[in-house]
Structure formats: C-alpha cells, structure tokens
Amino acid sequence: MTTVATALALSLPISLCRPSKLNTKKGVKGGLRVFAVFGEEGGIEKRSSWGPLFDVEDPRSKLPQCEGKFLDVNQALEVARLDIQYCDWRARQDVLTIMLLHEKVVEVLNPLARDFKSIGTMKKDLAELQDELTQAHRQVHISEARVATALDKLAYMEELVNDRLLQDRNATALEQTSPSPSTSTQATNVMQRRLPRKSLNVSGPVQPYHPRLMNFWYPVAFSADLKDDTMVPIDCFEEQWVIFRGKDGKPGCVRNTCAHRACPLHLGSVNEGRIQCPYHGWEYSTDGKCEKMPSTRLLDVKIKSLPCFEQEGMIWIWPGNDPPTATLPSLQPPPGFQVHAEIVMELPVEHGLLLDNLLDLAHAPFTHTSTFAKGWSVPSLVKFLTPASGLQGYWDPYPIDMEFRPPCMVLSTIGISKPGKLGGRSTDQCPTHLHQLHVCLPSSRQKTRLLYRMSLDFAPLLKHIPFMQYLWRHFAEQVLNEDLRLVLGQQERMINGANVWNWPVSYDKLGVRYRLWRNAVEQGAKQLPFEKQM
C-alpha cells in the first residue's frame, strides 16, 4: 500500500489534550487513579457499581510517534482507532468529573456540613463548584465534537482504503486482460481522473449534452401507456420525438416534426399504424417514411427515426449516432415482486441534478419530514457501503440497497418491518420490501422525464383496489415535491456559477461516483469506472 495520510492530516485530539482543573487538583491523570479517588470519596458500594465505567486505560501511552510522518494505510487506521479510543477515555473522564462535582455539591449542602460552615463559606464553595461544573459540561461538549470528528475521519479513511482497493483490483484486472502497454496507460488515466474527488466541479449553465452520452439505450415510456392508437411525445437530448405503435403492434420513434411544414405530429392521430399530421394529413410509418400525402402526388420523403424496442413493459430508444448495442438492460424488480405503480412525470430540472438527489439518502430526515422520513432521527453517521462493483451497495444505518444503473437509472430496495415503517438492520433482515425504479431521461438541459415504477413483495391485493394508482401517484408526487424545491434552488445557483459538488463528504459516495462515471463517458474513456460488465 502506498502513503495515504499523515499524522498531521489526522490532527489528533490526543495532542490537544490537557488534564482538567479538577484532575490536576486531585493529582488524577489516568483512569485507574481517578477510580481510586472516587473509591475513597464514593464508598465501596459506589466504587463497585460505577468503577468499571471509569476503569479504562489511557490510550495515549500506546500512540506511536507519528506527527508529521507519512503513514501507510494500516498505521493510519491504527492511529484513527487510538484516536477514537482516546475520545472514549476522555469522555469517561469528563463524566467522572461531573459526577465528582455533583458529589461535592451534595457534600456542601449536607445538613451536617452546614453545621460547621458559615453561609458565606458555603456560598463561596457553591460558586466555585458551579464554575467547575460549567467547565466540565463544556468539556463534555468538546468531547462529543471530538468523537464526531474522529468518526468522520475514520469514515473518510475507510473510503480512501476502499477506493485504493478498488483501484488495485481494477488495475490488476486490466493488466490481466490488456497486456498492451498503450491500453494500460489509458486505463491508468481513467483512474487518475477518477481519484481526485476534490476536483469534481458541476457548475455554470448546463452544457450541451455530449454526443457520447447519447450512445446508450434509454427507457422512455411504459408499455401500458402506449396503446395501439395513442402517441407519446417525448423530449430527449433537446430533440422532440413521438412514439407510436405500427401496424404490427411494435413501437416506433420518429421526429415529432412534420416534414411538410414542421407541425407537431403528436397533435394528430394514429391510423392503421401510421401517424397522421393534423395540418395536411401526411402519414408516416414507424420507420419515418411518409406513406400518404393527401391531395398531392406522393413524394419520397422521410423523417428521422430512432432504433426503438419494447422489453419488460418499457419502450426503449437509442438516441446516439453509434450503432446500438445488441442487448437492452433489464430493469425488472427481483423475483417475488409485483409492480403496483408506474408513474411518469415531467420535471423542470436537469437530469444529473435529479440523479444526484435520488442517489443520496442522507438528506431524507431533513427533507422528507412530511412523508416517508417523518419522525426519523438523524444518525450520527450515514454511510453508503459498496462491497461489489462500486455503483451498487447499501446504506448504513438504513435497510436500503441502492444502485446507479447507467446511463440514468436508480434502483433501490427498501426493507420494511411493518407496512409503512422502516426497520431492521439490513434489507435481508426485513420481512417485506418495496422496490423502486427511477429513470431520469435527459429531456433538455433543464427538463427531465422521470419514469417511476414501484413494486412490492407483499400485499398483492392492493393492486386490485380501485384508484390505488392515483393514491400511489399522490404519494410519489408529495415525496418528489419535497425534493424539487431544493433541487430547483440548486439548479438556479448552479447556473449562476455555484458548484453543486463543492464539498462531497463520505455519504455522497454514490452521487460522486455517478458524476465520475459521467465525466469518463464524456471524456471518451475506453474503460468506464465502476461499470460492471453487462
């Protein structure tokens, strides 16, 4: 392993430690000696009940001399571990200080003691004790902050180690599969672009979409919404398209602009598998060929069409110029789930911002206070753990698995212990689950077409309750509106130059990885980071 941290970077609270006033007065420096003092003053019974709490060794003696030195991963982790141990020890000493001071207050107020002390002396003693108590309480708050900082550092280091392991693993895999030196260099370049997370910059007006981002299959509609005689207009990468079914029932996607005089075709109708322009009646088949021109001689005219297929209840298009890949990804929920709702929404935000939002769970207890996260407490640490390919993993401490599926999909499985309640430590431990698919289709630079599909592995009868679809839609809109006002605000600031990825922290891992993946696509990287082979 190479160098990843220095002792200076860790800025250990140990180096800042100072014994408290009370401890200095009593000559108490370590857990054992404090214990002895407490024993003398608190009596045998208290010592036996409280003693083990404070009988903890001061870890400072174990700290290696490392200030200013470069440490390898294991040494740095050991230092971080001692760091936390020290915070724990420090907190115990603070609590002990407070307890001793309380003892003293009781002692001063003791009726027997009052007999021997003047009121003036008692007041003075109490004022002194009050000062010491205030200081001790302040010390406890400082200890709390130190524990939080130490945990944060540990999480950051864990991420560094994970990234390093992932890098090593990918590098080894690339070396094994690509013996050519030029390919290896390219792969290394991809990694170098991926690692410096501080350089992530998403600011300014949304740039025109890079053509490379178009070379993917994109789901654009649910099959159920495309009847034989209906049309679904969609915007995709700033272009307007319309989807309809041909005579054979297969879907087609053509430009939503009539070749004659640019009338929107979706305002017309579908007749016998052809879309008819509402202006002068020209009719186009699913491959874009004009097959009817009423009132004039038929000319050889064609409008642009895109590769369009239907799979597992969704309509897919390939908007890019490269030849489409042979297989379409599967977005099915896991076995045992039934689809309960399919909802489409047009949202006035850039699709990347919406994906950033969906790939983040840490915001839930702050943002979704009226909906699914009502009453959630704020955990001391939220982490996204990625044991496998890097774009999928699970949220700690929530029973939620999540995956970013390129190019624009988020899949999540939420463990529910009782209907409507989150519970359990992991999704596997929960008896019932809700599965969600979010597709964020890039419609235009400030517009996303969101396809949302919700499935459950329980309550199959809910599906048959009339109007249930409307209720699900209402819930989904409520949740989304809680996000939307914030994302719209981000978008406005981003357009004016703010960087929406200015300061990523440990729980931003999945969102950051999406951005790194997207950057790599736009830069034309041969090997995309994190992506599993499909």
Q: Which of 70, 279, 309, 337 binds ligand FES (CB under 6 A)?
A: 279
Is residue 483 close enough to count as binding Fe ion by CB under 5 A? yes
Q: Which of 21, 60, 92, 280 binds ligand FES (CB under 6 A)?
A: 280
Rg (CA), the chain: 32
Number of residues counted as binding ligand FES (CB under 6 A): 9
CB 477 within 8 A of CB 345: yes
Q: Which stretch binds Fe ion (CB under 5 A): 257-265, 293-301, 479-487, 526-534?
A: 479-487
Closest to Fe ion by CB, 76 or 358: 358
Task: Measure the CA–CA gap between 312 and 337, rounded to whole angstroms.
Answer: 14
Residue 483 interacts with which of Fe ion, ligand FES, none, CB < 5 to 8 Å by class: Fe ion
347 membership: H or E segment, kind and range: strand 338-347
**Could you tell me the smallest distance in angstroms from the CB atom of residue 244 to ligand FES?**
15
Residue 29 interacts with which of ligand FES, Fe ion, none, CB < 5 to 8 Å by class: none
295-330 burial, b at 16+ Cβ within 10 Å, e below that, comes to eeeeeeeebebbebebbeebbbbbbbeeebeeebbe
Number of residues counted as binding Fe ion (CB under 5 A): 1
3-state helix, strand, coil in the chain (%, to 5): 45, 20, 35
Closest to ligand FES by CB, 169 or 304: 304
Closest to Fe ion by CB, 171 or 343: 343
Closest to ligand FES by CB, 29 or 260: 260
The two structure tokens encoding residue 342: 């399919």
Closest to ligand FES by CB, 289 or 473: 289
In degrees to the nearest 10, what's the CA dihedral of 58, 64, 69, 72? Answer: -110
CB 285 within 8 A of CB 291: yes
Q: Which residue(s) pair with 385 in the sheet? A: 394
Residue 267 interacts with which of ligand FES, Fe ion, none, CB < 5 to 8 Å by class: none
Query: Per-residue x/- mask for Fe ion, residues 438 to 477, rule CB under 5 A?
Result: ----------------------------------------
Residue 264 interacts with which of ligand FES, Fe ion, none, CB < 5 to 8 Å by class: none
Closest to Fe ion by CB, 235 or 483: 483
Closest to Fe ion by CB, 356 or 483: 483
Distances (CA, A) of 460 to 224, 334, 338, 340, 372: 19, 15, 7, 8, 21
Q: Which of 54, 218, 222, 282 binds ligand FES (CB under 6 A)?
A: 282
Residue 280 interacts with which of Fe ion, ligand FES, none, CB < 5 to 8 Å by class: ligand FES
Closest to Fe ion by CB, 283 or 483: 483
Phi and psi torsions of 276, nearest 5° = -110, 125
DSSP for 243-283?
EEE-TTS-EEEEESS-TTT---GGGSEEETTEEE-TTT--E
Closest to ligand FES by CB, 160 or 267: 267
Residue 441's contacts (CB-CB under 8 Å, 6 or more residues apart) are 218, 219, 220, 234, 236, 351, 408, 448, 449, 450, 451
| Other C-beta atoms lying within 10 Å of the C-beta of residue 459 | 12
Closest to Fe ion by CB, 342 or 483: 483
Closest to ligand FES by CB, 162 or 269: 269
**Could you tell me the smallest distance in angstroms from the CB atom of residue 293 to ligand FES?**
8
Residue 258 interacts with which of Fe ion, ligand FES, none, CB < 5 to 8 Å by class: ligand FES
Residue 401 interacts with which of ligand FES, Fe ion, none, CB < 5 to 8 Å by class: none
Closest to Fe ion by CB, 416 or 479: 479
**Could you tell me the smallest distance in angstroms from the CB atom of residue 443 to ligand FES?**
23
Place of tokens 């459950």: 456
**Could you tell me the smallest distance in angstroms from the CB atom of residue 247 to ligand FES?**
20
Q: Which stretch binds ligand FES (CB under 6 A): 34-42, 273-281, 334-342, 496-504?
A: 273-281
Task: Measure the CA–CA gap between 394 and 160, rounded to whole angstroms.
Answer: 18
Query: Per-residue x/- mask for ligand FES, residues 243 to 272, rule CB under 6 A?
Result: ---------------x-xx-x---------
| Other C-beta atoms lying within 10 Å of the C-beta of residue 435 | 22
**Could you tell me the smallest distance in angstroms from the CB atom of residue 356 to Fe ion?**
10
Is residue 277 close enough to count as binding ligand FES by CB under 6 A? yes
Closest to Fe ion by CB, 457 or 483: 483
Q: Which residue(s) pair with 70 in the sheet? A: 6
**Could you tell me the smallest distance in angstroms from the CB atom of residue 268 to ligand FES?**
8
* Ramachandran class of 530: left when φ > 0, alpha when ψ lies in -120 to 50, beta otherwise: left
CB 448 within 8 A of CB 441: yes
Residue 34 interacts with which of Fe ion, ligand FES, none, CB < 5 to 8 Å by class: none
**Could you tell me the smallest distance in angstroms from the CB atom of residue 487 to Fe ion?**
9
Task: Give 466: exposed, middle or buried? Use CB within 10 Å, 0-12, 13-18, 19+.
Answer: exposed
Q: Which stretch binds Fe ion (CB under 5 A): 140-148, 189-197, 481-489, 504-512?
A: 481-489
Alpha helices for 464-504 (secondary structure H): 468-495
Alpha helices for 385-449 (secondary structure H): none
What SS3 state is found at 404?
strand
Distances (CA, A) of 388 to 169, 177, 194, 385, 393: 11, 19, 17, 9, 7
**Could you tell me the smallest distance in angstroms from the CB atom of residue 257 to ligand FES?**
9
Q: Which residues in this chain contact ligand FES in the complex, by CB under 6 A? A: 258, 260-261, 263, 277, 279-282
Tell me which residues touch Fe ion (CB under 5 A).
483
